[in-house]
Structure 1
Amino acid sequence: MAAASSSSPSPPTPQPSSVERTKGPTSLEKLVLREARGWSAEVHLYGGQVTSWKNDHGDELLFVSSKAIFKPPKAIRGGIPICFPQFGTQGNLEKHGFARNRLWVIDDNPPPLPVNTAIKTFADLILKPSEEDLKIWPHSEIRVEGLETLDYLDNLNEKERFTEQGDAIVFEAEVDKIYLDAPPKIAIIDHEKKRTYVLRKDGLPDTVVWNPWDKKSKNTQDLGDEEYKRMLCVEPAAVEKPITLKPGEEWKGRMELSAVPSSYCSGQLDPEKVLQD
């Protein structure tokens, strides 16, 4: 009498890690990520949505409906959708926001992975907002750090004195402020360009921060209507206490501006290094 035996299928032979750009049955572009041990994933550029995740035995670990519609503007039913900037109907936008109904792009200059990570196969996708998206929230890609908790004079409010409350200065409307007794080093962080401008100053105690925003730009003859999105004034100055010299006295004011690459840190650009240099 022969003894019956069974065994589980052997895992596939290890292959080099890879990322392949291809198209699905409906011509939607997707990325196929393969890991050396046999695991794989598929990410559609439409919605930035993970639509497949398989283990080293080829078992599918995610559910995607057999009736899923892979055709814009319909969201893909299943996988891992990105619900942003709202969940469900908890807001004024379409259900679950717009991120899952937009085409994402591959970041040509992705931030480096941590040196101690075991991940070797990855793709970095970016959702670039359209002009219509920007109308939903007019937040800028720029933030200024180093002026937190300082007193400032608000030129838009008859130079009334206030204290800065935020952990950084961001721009969502017109800004025209004079920060008093500002530190000698200020970081201007450009998230979009992954760049930090470092401003160092000496002999100029105050700092002016100005952006005209949309209405004032349209009323300024020598400024383009949309150019406020590409400019920001951060100016060392001596405003509160004007420099007064007696005969024979000297005064020196100096500003140094440098630009250094910045990388993402938990989703934010980290200026601490440049501020501490």
Structure 2
Amino acid sequence: MCGDPIHRRLLLVLPESEREGKKERKMSQSRPKETVYVEQCMGVNGLEKIVLREVRGFSAEVYLYGGQVTSWKNELGEELLFVSSKATFTPPKSIRGGIPLCFPQVSNHGPLELHGFARNRFWTLDPNPPPFPTNSTTRAFIDLILKNSEEDIRTWPHRYEFRLRVALAPTGDLMMTSRIRNTNTDGKSFTFTFAYQTYLYVTDISEVRIEGLETLDYLDNLKEKVRFTEQGDAITFESEVHKVYLSTPTKIAIIDHERKRTFVLRKDGLPDAVVWNPWDKKAKTIADLGDDEYKNMLCVQSACVEKAITLKPGEEWKGRQELCAVPSSYCSGQLDPKRVLLSY
């Protein structure tokens, strides 16, 4: 069942040349078609989700549980994000795959559950979202909000508002903007770390390379966070990897040679980038990940990990991530480096 409270529609009129000469068509086939940009539906296990669609066939899905993007498809209907076949979609367990939100901590080094609590809370539609730029042509978008609950305050004693916008551009780009505000009334600041834990679908992890992180320093989570400098011309994968790259550029390219596809990740307000693949041995220890699924996933996170963000009461932080997928013949060095992230 699909609801109707947040539809944005566009009428598509068939060209004159198609309408003429095909009079045998039924009337229902010759009527204007309709694109529903935003649709509220029931997803797996009855969890509520939002489907975003664009005219050319691009689509994305966002679950209110976790405020989590679980699907992003191109105009051919090909899935660009990885979601495990063993993902449970059963609260309070987080959904394995898509783009989980890590807040107010990344990793399990702190008093909270692994990667914080934002990814296993139920979000709501934001009644007072920030406006879109007046020159924007984006119609497929959703605004969600998460506020502190009594359960949160017991483990993280702060009041906050987390606003999330997920937008699908007419070109198929997937854009996510997070705004986090300190709403404490006791005068206390709070500190947090953050990540968009993006699971990309790749054809074969051994045929994937990342460009844009070479020569940078990183913390190796497999070696007690010892700091190293990346030596290769690009990052490739032959074993388990879990690295936090520091002071990274605003653009990173992930090249899937097997599919001849390049993912371009652009980010703002997120200085770090986490790269993770569990490989075969670790994959077998993860209950909600298939033993061989590591071959088809690569987690690249736009993050703020090394230096935590501190907000005083009333202050707000903003971080953005934009994803696009292009043919690899359109090499990463030519991917419009002057293009900047649109304002939210």
Task: Return the TM-score normalized by structure 2.
Answer: 0.38
Structure showing greater radius of gyration is: 1
Structure with higher RCO (Cα < 8 A, 6+ apart)? 2
Name whichever structure is richer in strand by fraction. 2
> What is the TM-score normalised by the length of structure 1?
0.47
